[in-house]
Amino acid sequence: MKTLTAIFAATLAVALATPAAAQARRTPQPKGPTRFYVSLNGGVQPANADLSDHFEFPSNAETATVDVKYPKKAGVLIDGGGGVQLWRQLGAGVAVSYVSSDGTAAIEASIPHPFLFGQPRQISGEQGSVARTETSAHVQLLYFVPTRGKLHAIVSGGPSFVSLSQDVVTDVDFSEVYPYDTAAFTRATTKAVKGNAVGFNIGVDLRWMFSREFGVGGLVRFTRATVDLDVAEGRSFSVDTGGVQAGGGVRIFF
């Protein structure tokens, strides 16, 4: 995560420094009709932030407690977008990104004893196939960095509209036998909970053009939004989405 953030910062600094260098050399900018472009990328979004949850339920005339640590895992990124140069180096664009991951949640619970008050049994276990998906629409103000040659750059930023689907543990099953002094975790019940939020995005797109119409490129983008998930009545928690997205793919200009 720190490495990708450093790469993003360095790339952004280089991209922003390019106009000054170009102006110092008094490099003329090519003139031509308004151009549109589309981009298609595949990549990765590093592991999401730590996510944990706590909930309770009645059991044996007492209260059982459950603590869940959700998987912290990198996600697969699919990204597509497009933009148009409107006036000088300024333009507008939109991109849609989809990030998916799944992993194993760690669960610890305290289950009251059926006969002995105040002597709960501790159980722990894991629940696999806990999935998470983030679908985001990024509205972007674009700055086409003045350059010459085949290497070009676009700096972008704007609001992001994020939809999150997160598998959440809603109950735990356990086994016990007489005299019930111990219990054992068997499985957890999960359900997909969805929420939406508005955040922001900022990024740099570097592209190498083989011709006026076709090239390849690399994308580094940082996004962030906080989504509130309502699991059940009286139970909700917040989830930080996004992070550094890095990928590459094709660039097509019209």
User: Which CATH number does 2-27+35-253 carry?
Assistant: 2.40.160.20
Q: Indicate the length of the chain as a whole number.
A: 254
Give residue-wise pLDDT tens across range 2-28. Answer: 444 444 444 444 444 444 444 434 333
Q: How far apart are CA 122 and CA 107, in angstroms?
A: 11
Q: Is 38 exposed, middle or buried (0-12, 13-18, 19+ CB in 10 A)?
A: middle
Q: How far apart are CA 80 and CA 31, in angstroms?
A: 27
What is the arithmetic mean of pLDDT over 165-171?
Answer: 95
Given pLDDT bands bounded at 50, 70 and 90, which one contains residue 191? Answer: very high
> What pLDDT does residue 254 have?
86
> What pLDDT does residue 233 have?
82
Give residue-wise pLDDT tens across range 207-233. Answer: 999 998 899 999 999 999 999 999 988
> What pLDDT does residue 128 have?
93
SS3 163: strand
Give residue-wise pLDDT tens across range 243-253. Answer: 999 999 999 98
Q: How far apart are CA 34 and CA 115, in angstroms?
A: 78
Q: How far apart are CA 4 and CA 170, in angstroms?
A: 35
> What pLDDT does residue 9 have?
46
Residue 22 or residue 51, greater confidence = 51
User: Which of 176, 174, 189, 74 has its CA nearest to residue 127?
Assistant: 189
What is the arithmetic mean of pLDDT over 113-134?
Answer: 95
Q: How far apart are CA 71 and CA 76, in angstroms?
A: 15
Residues 6+ apart with CB under 8 A from 42: 76, 77, 78, 79, 247, 248, 249
Please give the single-letter amino acid code of residue 250.
V
Helix (H) or strand (E) holding 237: strand 235-253
User: Which of 158, 218, 169, 219 has its CA nearest to residue 193?
Assistant: 169
Is the pLDDT at 127 greater than 50? The verdict is yes
Is the pLDDT at 166 greater than 80? The verdict is yes
For the chain, what percent of residues have pLDDT higher than 70?
A: 87
Residue 98 near residue 135, CB atoms below 8 Å: yes
